[in-house]
Amino acid sequence: MKRITIISLLSLFTFNAASEQLPADLDWISNQNEPLFASEQAKQGGTLRSYILSFPQTLRTVGPDSNGAFRSYMLDNAPALVSRHPNTLKWIPGLATSWAYGKDDKTVYFKLNPAAKWSDGEKVTADDYLFILTYYRSKDIVAPWYNEYYTTELDTIVKYDDYTIAVKTVSKKDRDNLMIDTGSLQPRPKHFFKSITDKNKDGMSDNFVRKYNFKAEPTTAAYYIDKIKKGKSITFKHVDDWWGYSNRYNKNRYNVEKISFTVIRDNDIARKHFEKGLLDTFGLILPDLWHNKADTEPYQKGYIHKFWGYNQLEEGAGGLWMNVAKPLLSDLIIREGIVSATDYDGMIKNVLRGDYSRKPHAMGTGHGDYDVKKPKPAAFEPEKAAKLFAKAGFDQIGPDGIRQNSEGKRLSFSVTYGYQTWTPRIAYLKEQAKKAGLEFTMNLVDGSSSFKYMLEKKHELAFLNMGSGSIPAYWEYFHSDNANKAQTNNFTNFSSPELDAKIMAYKTEFDLAKKQQISRDIQAMVTAAHVIAPGYMVPYDRQGYWRWVKFPKNAMTRKTYIMFDPTEISNFWIDLDEKKATLAAMKDGKAFEPVTFIDRNFKL
Amino acid sequence: MTLNPLTVKKINRFKEIKRGYWSFLLLVTLLLLSLVAELFINSKALMVGYQGNTYFPIFSDVYIGKDFGLNYSAEVNYRDLKKQFEAEENSDNYVVMPLVPWNAYEQDFNGASYPPLAPDSATQHYLGTDIIGRDVLARLVYGFRTAMGFALMTMVLSYIIGISMGCAMGFFGGKFDLLSQRFIEIWSMVPFLYVIMILVSVVQPTFGLFVMINVVFSWMGITWYMRTMTYKEAAREYVQSAKALGASTPRIIFKHILPNTMVMIVTLAPFTIASNITALTALDFLGLGLMPPTPSWGELLQQGKSNLDAPWIVMSVVTSIVSVLVMVTFIGEAVRAAFDPKKYTRYT
């Protein structure tokens, strides 16, 4: 019944659209004069050869198992209506050329770029925006978060003509938050879902999840998926005559012609591929890689250069997540003990060489006034933890040094994590936790299946870091709607009526100061609940790159996450002449000066 | 117990094959020693004398710091305690540490440099440390114990199943034989590695479970040999005469047929052990093996491969694997030769 109402409502709007008049007194903004962050010297062409550790579980961008790392190449980095300037953080045009705020504090009007095209050549029109709601509200996509978000946050999308729309939110918001919710919309290709079986009449294919598992949708981004060798590689190709270059902020970006991602299941082997010149860039974020490993012959001979650039990204929630649905972890005192017995500081100092830094709060940082002022993550205090465990009934020390309660139950939890490279980190936590009589067992579930494992809430403790938007998100992590359900981000299964109330208030609050206060309240509640031991963060990117990869002098932006990610800021390019020269020099055994480029522009 | 003179002859012949015999002695010694490795390689003290009392931490439940006048209630760090007692003047307190005062799990971050640390007798890391500062020697020895334990248990269990099945198939023949053969053919087609991967992602691979999984997929090998052997033996005259004398089926199988197929089992056993060790090492290497941080050779090999600039890791583990496998193979070879009725076809 509800579905029918939505459908009829939608059709009502499309019908009304023709008669709907654009308000006359709108103040159109287009922010065309912000500084550029790419270089005029950039050259187009070449192939960026990169790798992925495991083949993505799906090429859908929504639905089960879609929220993986690979999605950023297909969706997260694709153009939205507007985006934030990566340095000044002002809104700049994306798929929209200009925008205007409505008087009701709920509506934003957008003029669309008429040049915009899908990668299959179809024009991007207002209908593709109207289709967003059909797409994300459909039950067929099996994505409760999206169903909820696109129903409770977004009210309607109104079409005035093919290239003018308005997006209306459910609740009043200040301009910045209004833009975050509306401007981040990315159209969905309506024409791509033209001929589908749709028995429940919600506008989406009934077997969407299975049917589109390995069918990539057309994109508005510069790169589309060109070739797929299942389990082996995925190749992206630059859209011919890409519409995006009509937007000045995209000029001299996305320079490579092709991107090939080969599946290499082992980082060490990938590194060897890189050092042989079979990959163009390689991440050296890990301290061991940067300090010890990046000193082989190609580095010494200056064929491979090293890049260290600082950024200032918002940090999402992360650390050691405790699943309160598991026995013992429902006990607040035990959770508090675990937080005090988890030695992240020591791990950063000893295992990570002090290169990383501690996340000040479990919910992340860098959100301005949304964050608690100067939070201090709990220090490692085994004595305090031991007292807490004793208070929770674990007052005996077993024959192996691990605490037990009177029933003989050992104080032991398994930590689930996803990568073998993290084993040393968890092993460190494990050894330190013993000092409080707490045992961590290590549960390595490799690659993308570990995230699935956590989404399905099979873990006791999860070692996990999440990304973040420019304002913190709480509903997905702590609302009772998501607790004890598979495929949601409530990794702790923790929720309470008070927290629910706060989260809903946070979502609907219009006044910025109040909203930020609620956000701080929620963070305080999360701290008090001791459900996440705050983890670490990495305030920089480090890469090794072959000398034919070039970039502007001010390479990093505030928001550059991975310098040589071809779909992100992507202001680097491949100099094919330099490549030829380098290969020739290598053949002759000629060496260059070794280079380490450090960009400290955004170092705090 | 009196041995069959034929058996005595075989044992003597085994002893004559020197490298097999010595390998056998060495490997058994190593295995026995590894069973009591806690006495040689341990972070716990062998003996502590404190205020006139003597303590044996290895054999007792843990002592916490407060038991020895320290200010913490976690397990005692005996290396520090030893230093402290040695620094005290006029005191009878003492700590006797094992040969290698490290266990296979604790991490040595000395603060001066980052692990892996090179072999150094001053720190008593005789083979250095791995990338998170754990003693390589300790991990090798405990890893050896795990590997051998795994190999032997898997072998015994899968032989029990395999031999019973094979024997039954050969002895009863007919439909049972036919169906079992088909079943084994199908079962052996199940991709072992995938099953392991799936299971590992669902449950935490404990030692027992891991043995079970391996048994489930490795009992088939011996059935074919046993089936053939039993077939052959069952047709022999002595079995016929036992039958004529009215011997029961179990008696025929256990008293007559099995002893005569022993040759096959004893000959194959060492090679099975070798392949089991290899299997475990390979799975650990791939990260699909025992749950970390269980000391294991595969995991050390994995570390060694990632850290070729710390050659002590890869060198110690490769040397260990190669020598154990070579020894096992020598034993197998010698056993095979000793049990071969044709005395002069020896592999040399």
What CA–CA distances, in Å, run from B28 to A277, B22, B24, B234?
49, 10, 6, 36
pLDDT value of position A17: 45
Could you give the maximum distance between any two Cα atoms of chain A, in Å?
80
pLDDT of residue A60: 93
Q: Are A31 and A91 in contact (CB under 8 A)?
A: yes
Using the predicted structure, report yes or no on whether residue B346 has a pLDDT greater than 60.
no
Residue pLDDT, tens place only, A9-25? 444 444 444 457 888 88
Chain centre distance of CA A302: 34
Question: Residue B74 and residue A382: Cβ atoms within 8 Å?
Answer: yes
Report pLDDT for B344: 59
């509306």: which residue's tokens?
A182
- The domain defined by A2-20+40-235 folds into D-Maltodextrin-Binding Protein; domain 2 (3.40.190)
Whether the domain at A2-20+40-235 and the domain at A318-537 fall into the same CATH topology: no
Which among A414, A431, A444 has CB closest to B107? A431
* Residue A469 pLDDT greater than 50, yes or no: yes
In angstroms, the CA B23 to CA B270 distance is: 12
Residue A6, pLDDT score:
45
Which amino acid does the sequence have at A35? P
Contacts of A444 in chain B (CB under 8 A): 287, 291-292
- In A, which residues are within 8 Å of B200 by CB distance? 445
User: Is there a contact between B74 and A449 if contact means CB atoms under 8 Å apart?
Assistant: no
Question: How many whole angstroms from its chain centre is CA A601?
Answer: 23
C-alpha dihedral (A12, A13, A14, A19), degrees to nearest 10 = 100
- Average pLDDT of chain A? 90
Evaluate if residue B227 carries a pLDDT over 80.
Answer: yes
Q: How far apart are CA A171 and CA A507, in angstroms?
A: 8
CB contact under 8 A, A435 and B131: no
Q: Using CA atoms, how far apart are residues A295 and A288, in angstroms rounded to an integer? A: 11
Beta bridge partners of A101: A108
Q: What 3-state DSSP class applies to B100?
A: strand
**From the CA of A295, how many Å to the nearest CA of chain B?**
10
Contact B74 A436 (CB under 8 A): yes
Q: A260 vs B63, which has greater pLDDT?
A: A260
CA dihedral B72, B74, B78, B80 (to 10 degrees): -40
Of A343, A416, A435, which to mutate for an interface test with B (greatest number of B Cβ within 10 Å)?
A435
Beta bridge partners of A536: A358
The predicted pLDDT at position B343 comes to: 64
Give yes or no for a cis peptide into B293 (omega within 30° of 0). Answer: yes
A→B interface, C-beta within 8 Å: 268, 288, 291-293, 350-351, 353, 382-383, 386, 397-401, 414, 420, 423-424, 426-428, 430-431, 434-437, 441-446, 449, 453
Report the pLDDT value the prediction gives residue A342, as an integer from 0 to 100.
95
- With tokens 């509200």, the residue in question is A137
Best residue of A53, A264, A397 to probe chain B, by most B CBs closer than 10 Å: A397
pLDDT at B200: 73
Return all residues near A441 (Cβ < 8 A) that are at least 6 apart: A412, A413, A414, A415, A430, B204, B291
With an 8 Å Cβ cutoff, are A397 and B200 in contact? no
pLDDT tens, residue by residue, A409-424: 999 999 999 888 888 8
Residue B291 is nearest to which of A292, A397, A443, comparing CB atoms?
A443
| CB-CB neighbors (< 8 A) of A428 in chain B | 107, 132
Q: Tell me the nearest-neighbour CA distance from B76 into chain A, angstroms.
A: 10
Residue A580 in this model has a pLDDT that exceeds 70: yes
Q: In a mutagenesis test of the B interface, which of A343, A441, A451, A452 is the best target, namely the one with the most B β-carbons within 10 Å?
A: A441
In tens, the pLDDT along B77-105 reads: 899 898 888 888 888 888 999 999 999 98
Looking at the complex, report in whole angstroms how far the Cα of residue B292 sits from the nearest Cα belonging to chain A.
6
Q: Can you name the residues that pair with A345 across neighbouring β-strands?
A: none
In contact, A424 and B132? CB cutoff 8 Å:
yes
Tell me the average pLDDT across A425-449: 88
Give the per-residue pLDDT at B111. Answer: 65
Amino acid at A370: Y
Indicate if the pLDDT at residue B347 is higher than 60: no
CA distance A171 to A353: 47
DSSP helix/strand/coil, B295: coil
Sequence ranges of the domains in chain A = 2-20+40-235, 266-312+541-599, 318-537
Condensed to tens digits (0 to 9), the pLDDT of residues A477-532 reads 999 989 888 888 999 999 999 999 999 999 878 788 898 999 999 999 999 999 99
Distance from CA of A211 to the nearest CA of B (A): 24
What letter does residue B41 receive in the DSSP assignment?
Answer: B
Local structure of residue A239 (DSSP, 8 states): P
Amino acid at position A81, single letter: L
Is the sign of the CA dihedral B119, B311, B294, A318 positive or negative? positive
- Fold assignment, A318-537: Dipeptide-binding Protein; domain 3 (3.10.105)
Which of the residues B296, B306, B307, B313 would you substitute to probe the A interface, choosing the one with the greatest number of A C-beta atoms within 10 Å? Answer: B306
Query: B201 and A453: CB-CB below 8 Å?
Result: yes
Assigned token pair, B120: 């150094």
Say what the pLDDT of residue A5 is: 44
The pLDDT of B324-337, averaged and rounded, is 91
3-state secondary structure of B18: helix
Mean pLDDT of the B150-165 span = 94
Instruction: Please state the separation of Cα B293 from the chain's center in Å.
Output: 17
What would the pLDDT profile of A183-239 be if each residue is shown by its tens digit? Answer: 999 999 999 998 888 888 888 999 999 999 999 999 999 999 999 999 999 999 999
Question: Is the separation of the CB atoms in A183 and A31 below 8 Å?
Answer: no
Amino acid A414: pLDDT:
92
Whether residue B207 contacts residue B148, with contact meaning beta carbons closer than 8 Å, is answered with no
Q: Terminal CA-to-CA distance of chain B, rounded, Å?
A: 33
pLDDT tens column, A538-558: 989 999 999 999 999 999 998
Q: Which of B257-260's residues contact partners 24+ apart within 8 Å by CB, and which partners?
A: B257/B167, B257/B171, B257/B230, B257/B233, B258/B163, B258/B167, B260/B229, B260/B233
> How many CB atoms are closer than 10 A to CB B66?
12
CB-based contact A539:A366 (threshold 8 Å): no
What's residue B161's pLDDT?
Answer: 95
Helix (H, G, I), strand (E, B) or coil at A287: helix
Q: What is the pLDDT of residue A174?
A: 82
Q: Is the ipTM of this complex over 0.90?
A: no
Helices within A351-433 (DSSP H only): 382-391, 423-433
Inter-residue contact B78 to B101 (CB < 8 Å) = yes
- Residue A553, min C-alpha distance to chain B (Å): 34
Give me the phi and psi of B109, to 5 degrees please.
-105, 100
- Report the alpha-carbon distance of residue A582 to residue A280 in Å, rounded: 13
Q: Which of B105, B109, B287 sits opposite A350 (nearest CB)?
A: B109
Of all residues in chain A, the percent with pLDDT exceeding 70 is 97
CA distance B75 to chain A (A): 6
Q: Which residue has the tokens 């096992």?
A: B328
- Candidates A268, A349, A383, A423: best to mutate against B (most CBs of B within 10 A) is A423
Q: Which residues of A touch B309 (CB under 8 A)?
A: 292-293
